[in-house]
Chains A and B, each alone.
Chain A
Amino acid sequence: MTSDILVNSLFVFMLAGFLGFQVIRRVSPLLHTPLMSLTNALDGISVVGAIILAGRHESKLAFWLGMIAIVAATSNIVGGFLITDRMLKMFKSSGPRKSQA
């Protein structure tokens, strides 16, 4: 890794960090469980690295580790998105008809 790419990466990491804290702060405590399962699913983005490993097949070891990693990450992604959507579907407002009693 050249120092150029390193500095770029550090910049991206820092900006994403600040952005992350700002965005997360606004999430209502009502939705903290879906927040966790969604970030969990997004974490499955590591599948990208696994696909490159298995897809390029540079060594037997890398290929098989990559294959297992794809399975693990994909189950994380699919399960995470699925349950997050199921949770969010359940959140219903009582609507305008029931104003404060």
Chain B
Amino acid sequence: MTLPENFLIEVIYLIATALFILALMWLNAPRTARRGVLAGEVGMILAVVGTLCEHGIIEYQWVAIALAAGAAIGIPLGLVQMTAAPQRTALSQAFGACCVTLVGSAEFYLRTPNVSKFTMSVLALEVVLGGLTFTGSLMAAGKLQEVKFIPQRPVTYRGQNIVNLVVLALAVGAAVALVRNPGHTIYYPIMVGIALVFGVMLIVPIGSADMPTVISLLNSYAGLAAAAMGFVLGSKLLIVAGALDGCSGFSLSVIMCKAMNRSFTNVMFGAFGQVQASSKGVEEARTVRSASAEEAAGILGAASKVVIVPGYGMAVAQAQHKVRELYDVLTKKGVNVTFGIHPVAGRMPGHMNVLLAEADIPYDRLLEMDDINSDLPQTDVALIIGANDVTNPAARTDTTSPIYGMPILDVDKAHTVMVIKRSMSPGFAGIDNPLYYLDKTLMLFGDAKGFVSDIVRELSGSGSSH
């Protein structure tokens, strides 16, 4: 048996594929996760080196320049603050999708009109998914970064879903025309153009609270586009990497949807997050109890078990380091402090965990929803920092509430509830929270960072006087 000419390259690709799978396997626990990153990096370097050995590569200098330029852009993108992780991920996703779309387009123009029906179908799938992921991710990144000319609130109009479906149908129509006759190159730019527009239209009606689901879904599209590219190029490495990415994004978006008790269609087409009319329609003047930092510190210091529930507000106020100080001072007093993390807290899956880990809070103190909910009835104080909808008891009790049925953190079962909030304005989903009007609830009005540091000051002051 004689070995094929590119046998060595194929073996290198095989090893790279194995390393990619290992990378994701090792990511299952914090202890082995960094090894996973290393495996991914080695796999990627092998894949690039293997490709450079491919037959017919002549422009080594140019490729080297492009690689260096990409690295020069990538390094600052890798050094952003952790609070900006969601928009960084979205932006990076846009770059990945951009690459897929460009490669697909170049392949089309190189091969046309000698493209088989099957290749043309996958190629169309590749560039349509790539194109809509590119603009969609850019829009998502813009919304997350709160870029001025991109509206934060969902933009909706009558017949929006019908318009979107018609646009999608046009793209599919152009794709079908190309599959029937790949020589009709005129349809190609039309198809790509529509895909790019569709990406924008898809994200415009999405509210900030749905970003975790949408980013995951775009991640999945990017993966599928890469897998489609693998079919076009006949590269198993690309197919596997793309399929892994597609699965990961899809799994995450399913988890996010479940955590909000909503379906995919509802997230994509439901335009959640507009200011909703009060569910009962009666605006009675309900009273809230508020407290000062001194009072809050007194209650926290006397507690034996405290659960802190962080939300996006903590990220916005960059309060995670102050929260860590609070954790330290309370732990020193012998208070058992844990953190309750809702799956959709923040703007991307796992957002809160990363921020708290950045502030050096040990990860075994960060508990998932189910674990913390069994603890909450025995908890003295639940302290909510910048979270809203994920603590809203209306999700359990009020069948008319838009979030009815969504799994929440049962903070209202704790003996005392404290909520740090800037004002009484409703959260991103625009839904009133009955938690704030409970007798056991104390509202701590102020900026999350400032208020937490006031509490810390009170606690350490009283600590030294004992």
The residues of A with any CB-CB pair to B shorter than 8 Å are 1, 5-6, 8-9, 12-13, 16-17, 19-21, 23-59, 61-63, 65-95, 98, 101
**A70 and B357 within 8 A (CB):** no
**A72 and B98 within 8 A (CB):** yes
With contacts A39-B249, A40-B93, A48-B238 taken as known, whether A27 is within 8 angstroms of B71 at the C-beta atoms is: no
Stretch with Cβ within 8 A of A (4 or more), from B33-41, B138-146, B400-408, B458-466: B33-41
Which B residues touch A82, using CB under 8 A?
A: 74-75, 77-79
> Chain B's nearest CB lies how many Å from the CB of A93?
6
Q: Which of A44, A56, A91 contacts B96 (CB 8 A)?
A: A44
Which A residues touch B247, using CB under 8 A?
A: 16-17, 20-21, 23-24
**B67 and A66 within 8 A (CB):** no
Dominant SS among interface residues on chain B: helix
Which A residues touch B109, using CB under 8 A?
A: 59, 61-62
Which B residues touch A53, using CB under 8 A?
A: 103, 106-107
**B336 and A101 within 8 A (CB):** yes
Q: Which of A6, A40, A76, A89 contacts B118 (CB 8 A)?
A: A6
**A78 and B70 within 8 A (CB):** yes
Whether B160 sits at the interface, judged by CB under 8 Å, is no
A-B contact pairs, 9 of them (CB 8 A): A1-B119, A17-B243, A20-B246, A21-B247, A29-B341, A29-B349, A36-B215, A38-B27, A76-B92
**B92 and A51 within 8 A (CB):** no
> Chain A's nearest CB lies how many Å from the CB of B127?
12
Which B residues touch A71, using CB under 8 A?
A: 66, 69-70, 73
Whether B413 sits at the interface, judged by CB under 8 Å, is no
* 11 further A-B pairs in the complex, CB-CB below 8 A; given A57-B59, A72-B98, A83-B78: A6-B118, A12-B236, A24-B252, A35-B24, A39-B24, A42-B241, A43-B219, A49-B235, A51-B52, A52-B51, A65-B105
**A30 and B37 within 8 A (CB):** no
Q: Which of B21, B248, B358 contacts A36 (CB 8 A)?
A: B248
Nearest-neighbor residue (CB-CB) of B82 within chain A: A87
**B75 and A67 within 8 A (CB):** no
Cα of A96 to Cα of B57 in the assembled complex, Å: 54
**B362 and A94 within 8 A (CB):** yes
Whether B179 sits at the interface, judged by CB under 8 Å, is no
Interface size for B (C-beta < 8 A) is 112
> Chain B's nearest CB lies how many Å from the CB of A3?
9
The residues of B with any CB-CB pair to A shorter than 8 Å are 20-21, 23-25, 27-31, 33-34, 36-37, 40-41, 44, 47-48, 51-52, 54, 56-60, 62-63, 66-67, 69-71, 73-80, 82, 85, 88-89, 92-93, 95-96, 98-100, 102-103, 105-107, 109-110, 116, 118-119, 215-216, 219, 222-223, 226-227, 229-231, 233-249, 251-252, 255, 334, 336, 341, 343, 348-351, 353-354, 357-358, 360, 362-366, 368
Q: Which of B24, B66, B226, B243 contacts A70 (CB 8 A)?
A: B66
Q: Which of A24, A46, A49 contacts B24 (CB 8 A)?
A: A24
Cα of A78 to Cα of B74 in the assembled complex, Å: 5
With contacts A55-B59, A67-B62, A67-B66 taken as known, whether A47 is within 8 angstroms of B48 at the C-beta atoms is: yes
Q: Which of B63, B236, B237, B363 contacts A30 (CB 8 A)?
A: B363
Which A residues touch B354, using CB under 8 A?
A: 33-34, 87, 90
Cα of A20 to Cα of B17 in the assembled complex, Å: 12
**A35 and B244 within 8 A (CB):** no
Cα of A84 to Cα of B357 in the assembled complex, Å: 13
**A66 and B103 within 8 A (CB):** yes
Which B residues touch A92, using CB under 8 A?
A: 357, 360, 362-363
**A78 and B75 within 8 A (CB):** yes
Cα of A6 to Cα of B233 in the assembled complex, Å: 11
Cα of A62 to Cα of B59 in the assembled complex, Å: 13
> Chain A's nearest CB lies how many Å from the CB of B233?
5
